[in-house]
Amino acid sequence: MSNPTWRKSSHSGTEQQTVCVEVAGLRPGVGIRDSKNPHLGHLTLPTQVFADLLARAKRDELNL
């Protein structure tokens, strides 16, 4: 996918906050990047790993 559609997390908050995450559907998984610094690149996680990460975050298991 040469031009993915990046979506900002609804939990990122306002423009003044520094914790901003964007995700995009990529092959072969899900891309994650810092919306404040998209030029730094992104991580690509397999779809199941991303789903597990979200589940753990929702259960507050990540000490974020």
Domain ranges of the chain: 7-58
Rounded distance, CA 17 to CA 36, Å? 10
pLDDT at residue 1 tops 60: no
Res 17 pLDDT > 80: no
Look at residue 43 in the predicted model and tell me its pLDDT. 95
**Mean residue pLDDT across the chain:** 86
Confidence of residue 60 (pLDDT cuts 50, 70, 90): very high
Burial class (CB in 10 A: 0-12, 13-18, 19+), 25: middle
Note the pLDDT of residue 12.
Answer: 65
